[in-house]
């Protein structure tokens, strides 16, 4: 019985990944991140954890946008998104938007 409940919850979480990815991409685009970076961001379920994913080759560019450079202010899209992630998942699950 517990396995069925866990499987059901994980399936519900998987269904939230698309809307969460859209939300993350909108936040990055609204913060001025380049389209080629925005389009590579996604939210995935890995080993039971909901995480932000992107190709390794974009790490430096993403870090520059996230943390800033000497020429550009930081735009903490990923950190803000992670801070709100639990409530976003609960919201999507609670609304039946999945």
Answer yes or no: are the C-beta atoms of 17 and 25 closer than 8 Å. Answer: no
* pLDDT for 77: 97
Contact between 98 and 12 (Cβ < 8 Å): yes
More confident residue, 87 or 78: 78
Q: What is the H or E stretch that residue 23 is in?
A: helix 2-30
The larger pLDDT score, comparing residue 44 to residue 9, is at 44
Report percent pLDDT > 90 for the chain: 56
């Amino acid at each position: 019985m517990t396995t069925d409940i866990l499987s059901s919850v994980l399936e519900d979480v998987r269904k939230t990944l698309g809307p969460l990815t859209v939300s993350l991409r909108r936040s990055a685009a609204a913060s001025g991140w380049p389209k080629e970076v925005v389009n590579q961001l996604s939210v995935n379920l890995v080993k039971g954890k909901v995480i932000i994913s992107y190709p390794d080759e974009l790490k430096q560019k993403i870090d520059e946008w996230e943390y800033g450079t000497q020429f550009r202010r930081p735009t903490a899209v990923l950190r803000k998104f992670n801070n709100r992630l639990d409530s976003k998942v609960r919201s999507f699950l609670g609304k039946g938007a999945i």
